[in-house]
A and B are shown apart, each in its own frame.
Chain A
Amino acid sequence: MKKYSFYLVTLLGSVLFLSGCGDQNGNASSNGALASNNAEKVYVAPGEHDEFYAFMSGGYSGNVTVYGLPSGRMFKEIPVFSQFPTNGYGYSEETKPMLETSFGFIPNDDSHHPDISQTNGELDGRWLFINGNNTPRIARIDLKTFETAEIIEVPNSAGNHSSSYITENSEYVVAGTRFSVPIPQRDMPIKDYKGNFKGALSFISVAPETGHMDIKFQLIMPGFNYDLSHPGRGKSHGWFFFTTYNTEEANSLLEVNASQNDKDFIAAVNWKKIEEYVENGGGTMVPANYTHNLYSDETHSATSTMKKEVLTVDPTKVPGAVFFMPTPKSPHGVDVNPTGDYIIGNGKLSADLTVFSFDKMIAAIDGKKYDGEAYGLPILKFEDVLAGQVKSGGLGPLHTEFDGKGNAYTTFFISSEVVKWKVGTWEVIDRKPTFYSVGHCMIPGGNSAKPFGKYLISLNKITKDRYLPTGPELEHSAQLYDITGDKMELIYDFPTHGEPHYAAAIPASILAPKSQKIYKLAENEHPFATKSVSDARVVRDGNVVHVYMAMIRSHFTPDNIEGIKVGDKVYFHITNHEQDFDVPHGFMMIGATNSGLLIMPGQTKTTVWEPKQEGVWPFYCTDFCSALHQEMQGYVRVSPASSNIDLSWSLGE
């Protein structure tokens, strides 16, 4: 009897153990008996905060969206390369200069690859950089204010795709051109592409204190397409790697003509060597036309400066600076592991991943073991630099991220999956499907020496059937995987706005304490600021009228304005006098053809209104500011152009 009860207890115990460790489908969980269910892993209770901020590129929205991880909640959309009616970015007089380019005012772009600034290879959370792909630009977002602080245009470039990756002390952010083009641009037959078009790889310096960007030099490379890039780190710090395709230099029907070579290249660039060359007076200053747009938190205004020249470097003039590593086949992503030992090239038309060894690359360079050259630049022997190949069995490998524990995760577009493999042994550990057609994946801290390795996000291109249908247009789909165990676990789906290509994430504990809450009114140096209500006034200069207006819960000063005439150009310069977190005021004027404004505490913004019709026209606050928000309104009287009614303004009279 005693023996039976022993068996019974053992049996019950094992049943309990097993039932505790499987998931609903009866599959054994990788995390053992303590694994909580997936809903608990992503649930962030009301009032609780997420562990990570994730910054997702908005693709054709031209913006960046900010999400919390693991909840997938969207916190903010940061306008970068696009006009944004929500707050007036790109519409207000202060922010219009941000979208100036050498082509004029361009209120849209295709934002691709965000990257967070680093110190000693670790995320420092000062700035986020992102590229505008279409009209080549790089933007810097200040992570204190989560606002776009600077945009620099990249001349001699087209399709700024292999951007905007950052070196390990934020020395440079790169902007590599996807399209090779005539440099300088000129009228010439397209069929003469081969040998005549060039690809510019721009190294943009980042000032350590202010983050201000400046193109230090442009490497004028052969006319391939430069697709993606990654900085070296650790021992490979000082090098930058760029994938190429179309080494065939085809100019038409590239899907066939640029897929002929069995191997394209990864270009390895020793930027420290070129920097040294440039600092010793090397390179050629050439005429160029590009804008540098800088926003000031003091004047609350941006300025746009046209730059007239850029320093170019012919790589053949700097021996030992640029080498080509043959990579199968039309490689897309190039990624460097956290220790900087390996460079992973993913041939998007291949099934296998190609991993190069940095040490072997240096040895091959030192031994001058070349396999010919391209346009005077040495090509290394594939076998000499190869560290190994991951025989994945997947199709269409694109991008690789790392968990900081010696594992790599590669996305496969065609076979729609993420494959986990071990760096060094190249063995495949796990593979999980994605839904569907994954592009980049992202692990927080992925492009740094210290990935945080808790979650992986797959950024999928196709969404159908994952959510309720919304007509023909669907938002893209992100999927969150728990990567703490041996096996990946898909734990959450959430839609993302625009077309998120790549993303960057950082622990909330780094950013949240530094997040700015207000702008100090006392430090407002906007030339049209109304810092005291007694300064509120209306000034006429010909047919231009400047309204100096202040706003506070729950009124404008002034709220009655008379003496405006049809045909006037009325600038409303509005200053928010609140000094309290999260109390913006909005402004909209009937018939204004521009945009509304959203003005943060302590900030001044300006919008233009050109009254076309006589009458008495209202304006009001659009951001629900207080119990008397609805009363926050005013009138402008518009008289005929010939009228001689004097300008007057008032509040409370």
Chain B
Amino acid sequence: MKKASILMIIGSLCLLGLFKFPLWNIMLGAPQYPDPLGMNIHITGIQGVSEFDLQNIDGLNHYIGMKTIPKADEMWEFKAFPIVIISMSVLGVLLGLLGFVGKVDYRYFLGWFILMSILGVMGMYDFNVWLTDYGSNLDPHAIIKVTNEDGTPMTYKPPLFGYKKLLNFNVSSMPALGAWAMFLGMSLTVVAFLVGWKSKRSPSS
């Protein structure tokens, strides 16, 4: 159980990588942008991959009537996400410590993982809602209006995950280093649960 608790603590601490590394990365490449434009979505706000990428993305997007990319203080998420991540990290470390001294058992680790997964899915859902709004809630005075074959206005929603072609742009949307650290941390908590479970079944170890 001691080994499991240590894994639980390390796994929970991995979440803190999100304060240093971006959660998500969206890149926009086109023939005239051989160096693609890109944005890194951190839990504290959105940053350009290169210094002027956000300004240049906004400059392009204004033709199709997209809103400008929100600043950190323009979205509640950038205040809420850090609190959620710190809370979950602290909670995880606490559970690990309590496990270490035998006050809680391994099932709490799984409970933490399930809670974190629910929060993660909610976060993804929220992210997707934002992308949908950003890509389809367009200025009615937009200069360029492109319609789909069925006559409905084209949306410019970047993919939640993976690649998509948006007019002349190849758009990719992928988890970034912070997210991979989070996934790793969450996996470790599952391992912690399994290790704890195993040690319970064979108390000698």
Q: How many A-B residue pairs have CB under 8 A?
A: 17
- Chain B's nearest CB lies how many Å from the CB of A258? 57
Chain A 177-212: CB-based contact to B (< 8 A → 1; otherwise 0): 000000000000000000000000000000000000
Complex Cα gap A627–B144 (Å): 10
Across the interface, name the chain A residue whose C-beta is closest to B62: A553
**Among B51, B52, B55, B143: residue with most chain A CB under 10 A:** B52
Across the interface, name the chain A residue whose C-beta is closest to B32: A582
Chain A residues near B111 (CB-CB < 8 A):
none
* B117 in the interface (beta carbon within 8 A): no
* A21 in the interface (beta carbon within 8 A): no
Across the interface, name the chain A residue whose C-beta is closest to B143: A628
- Chain B's nearest CB lies how many Å from the CB of A551? 12
Residues B52 and A579 in contact, CB atoms below 8 Å apart:
yes
Beyond A627-B144, A628-B143, is A580–B63 a contact (Cβ under 8 Å)?
A: no
Chain A residues near B153 (CB-CB < 8 A):
none
Beyond A552-B59, A553-B59, A628-B63, is A580–B52 a contact (Cβ under 8 Å)?
A: yes
Beyond A627-B63, A628-B63, is A579–B55 a contact (Cβ under 8 Å)?
A: yes
Chain A residues near B143 (CB-CB < 8 A):
628
Chain B residues near A627 (CB-CB < 8 A):
63, 144
Residues B59 and A578 in contact, CB atoms below 8 Å apart:
yes
Query: For window 390-443 of chain A, which residues contact chain B by CB distance below 8 Å?
Result: none
Across the interface, name the chain A residue whose C-beta is closest to B144: A627
Query: For window 37-68 of chain B, which residues contact chain A by CB distance below 8 Å?
Result: 51-52, 55-56, 59, 63
Chain B 57-84: CB-based contact to A (< 8 A → 1; otherwise 0): 0010001000000000000000000000
Residues A579 and B144 in contact, CB atoms below 8 Å apart:
no
Residues A580 and B56 in contact, CB atoms below 8 Å apart:
yes
Chain A residues near B52 (CB-CB < 8 A):
518, 579-580
The secondary structure that dominates the B interface is: loop
- Chain B's nearest CB lies how many Å from the CB of A189? 65
Query: For window 320-347 of chain A, which residues contact chain B by CB distance below 8 Å?
Result: none
Residues B59 and A580 in contact, CB atoms below 8 Å apart:
yes
Chain B residues near A552 (CB-CB < 8 A):
59
- Chain A's nearest CB lies how many Å from the CB of B63? 7
- Chain B's nearest CB lies how many Å from the CB of A339? 42
- Chain B's nearest CB lies how many Å from the CB of A186? 58
Chain A residues near B59 (CB-CB < 8 A):
552-553, 578, 580
Chain A residues near B56 (CB-CB < 8 A):
579-580
Chain A 594-634: CB-based contact to B (< 8 A → 1; otherwise 0): 00000000000000000000000000000000111000000
- Chain B's nearest CB lies how many Å from the CB of A163? 39
Complex Cα gap A626–B64 (Å): 13
Chain B residues near A553 (CB-CB < 8 A):
59
Complex Cα gap A167–B81 (Å): 61
Across the interface, name the chain B residue whose C-beta is closest to A552: B59
Query: For window 4-60 of chain B, which residues contact chain A by CB distance below 8 Å?
Result: 51-52, 55-56, 59
- Chain A's nearest CB lies how many Å from the CB of B168? 11
Query: For window 126-181 of chain B, which residues contact chain A by CB distance below 8 Å?
Result: 143-144
Complex Cα gap A580–B34 (Å): 13
Query: Which B residues are closer than 8 A to A by beta carbons?
Result: 51-52, 55-56, 59, 63, 143-144
Beyond A578-B59, A627-B144, 15 additional pairs, beta carbon < 8 A: A518-B52, A552-B59, A553-B59, A579-B51, A579-B52, A579-B55, A579-B56, A580-B52, A580-B55, A580-B56, A580-B59, A626-B63, A627-B63, A628-B63, A628-B143
Query: Which A residues are closer than 8 A to B by beta carbons?
Result: 518, 552-553, 578-580, 626-628
Which A-B residue pairs are the 5 nearest by beta carbons?
A579-B52, A580-B56, A579-B55, A553-B59, A628-B143
16 examples of A-B residue contacts, CB within 8 angstroms = A518-B52, A552-B59, A553-B59, A578-B59, A579-B51, A579-B52, A579-B55, A579-B56, A580-B52, A580-B55, A580-B56, A580-B59, A626-B63, A627-B63, A628-B63, A628-B143
